[in-house]
Amino acid sequence: MNVIQEIFSQFTKMQLSDYLDIALVAFLFYKLLPLIRTPSTMRIARSVVVLLAMLAAMAYIMVSLIRIPVVLFLKYEPKDVIITIAGFMMGPMASFIISLVVSLIEMVTI
């Protein structure tokens, strides 16, 4: 019951601009949702996911095969080159996703 009262108290603290922001985001989401469901955007989204998976696989293969020791505890891993190329091709979010996927797989396997 305290949770409901706390949520209600948050609504009473909101100003008119907060309600307008919420309404604007909801309206934009409602108008953009049909664009996301078209077949051409699904095909593009599928190809982006496949490209991200291919780049993540290439980065993992590079890190598992090639490690060049630089100093006693530092090693150069060429996966960073693949991740940087993905960032230039598809933006920083793609680099983050590939880094996250490769790091998680690397954590489990290597």
H-state helical runs in 14-91? 16-36, 39-65, 79-90
**Pair of tokens at residue 82:** 């693949």
What's the CA gap between 103 and 39, in Å, rounded?
Answer: 33
Query: What is the sign, positive or negative, of the torsion defined by CA atoms of 59, 65, 67, 73?
Result: positive
The residues near 24 (Cβ < 8 Å, ≥ 6 apart) are: none
pLDDT tens, N- to C-terminus, the chain (110 residues): 677 777 777 767 777 777 777 777 777 777 777 766 667 777 777 788 888 888 888 888 888 888 788 888 888 888 888 888 888 988 888 888 888 888 888 888 77
pTM of the model as a whole:
0.58
C-alpha span between 34 and 97 (Å, rounded): 26
